[in-house]
A = this chain, B = another copy of it.
Amino acid sequence: MNATYSNRRRFLKAATLVAAGGPWLARFASTARADDTGRKLGFALCGLGSLSTHQLAPALLKTSRCRLAGIITGHPDKAEKWKAQYNIPDKSIYNYDTMEQMADNPDIDVVYVVTPNALHAEHTLKAAKAGKHVLCEKPMETSIERCQLMIDACNAAHRLLAIGYRSRFDPNTQECIRLAREKVFGQIKVIEAGFGFRIGDPNQWRLKHDLAGGGALMDVGIYALQATRYLSGEEPISVTSLETKTDPVKFKEVDESITWQLKFPSGIIANCSTTYIANGIDFYTAYAEQGNFGLNPAYNYEGNRGARSDGRPFDFPPTDQFAAEMDDFAQCIQQNKPSIVSGEEGLRDLRIITAIYESIRTGKAQDLA
């Protein structure tokens, strides 16, 4: 728990005694009570692209602590469609210019920011200013500075911030983390991880530097990077990296393929890759003293498969990672505890991603310690 959040808890405890506070505090107190009454937290999806349409809205229907309460979109036609499909009241439909008016809407507790990477800070700041908790898609933002702005804004508004690292809520990944922490195969020595795919439409925002902040590394490599951190349970101290670009037209603005290597304090080496031009790289393996374990595929929405060198099975029921992620965030809000995928966690990845790009630029190992 970070100091700011701990302070908030102490502050809240005091606030309940004096039965007073600004508008955000009144709402937070109501949210805290909601846990007892069984009230579901209202989520507003900010950005109605493919992820919101095909994953998040359906996932919200599977949650036990959340409900789709509002939308924020720049497309009036989308607003009409969603309004009809999900019975969203007019008062809970916003655009990016009006979203700060959510301050007056008690139906919305959380804003889930699903806009292009470089807009995450802007939309997080507006949501926090409106007194809403924020769940923000990965990557958190496009620079360390902008990530810090988001953390500061949510801290200042006494609102929780979490990043949409859905893998952390996949039982297969959770089992790998358990195998790592409990040293079931002994100390991990080497981690291999990679995630990539062949990207389609050359005109999408993911290929525009101003909106994406980077290419394959920012978008999917970050999953492999996260994996090395949650498997090792450590923060890397050094990184090297290489980039190649075979299609300089399509990938004029962002990275196409990158490999990077991390060294961790205990001596673990991680070897990672990402690409926008080949399908099928979707795995991690942790090689430990007495065996190895991992997933392949590792980062899919569903169907991830685990394997252990001792042949024992991974046997978990299918899980909607997005539903689990949102329920976890709702629980964090209801129980006044920070998320395991906090803004600080998102910032750590951005620091490393920044060092990877710097290593590519300079051709030198970058110190992270």
Contact = CB atoms under 8 A, between A and B. Distances in A.
Given A189-B257, A246-B189, A278 B269 contact: no
B263 A291 contact: no
Interface in A68-90: none
Interface string A270-305: 111101011111000101110110000000000000
A198 interface: yes
B271 A244 contact: no
B365 A242 contact: yes
Given A242-B238, A277-B189, A269 B257 contact: yes
A271 B259 contact: yes
A147 B272 CA distance: 32
Interface residues of A, number: 48
20 contacts: A189-B275, A190-B275, A192-B281, A194-B271, A198-B289, A240-B261, A242-B261, A242-B262, A257-B269, A258-B269, A259-B261, A259-B270, A260-B261, A278-B289, A279-B309, A280-B292, A281-B287, A363-B365, A364-B364, A364-B365
Interface of A: 187, 189-190, 192, 194, 196, 198, 238, 240-246, 257-264, 266-273, 275, 277-281, 285, 287-289, 291-292, 309, 359, 363-365
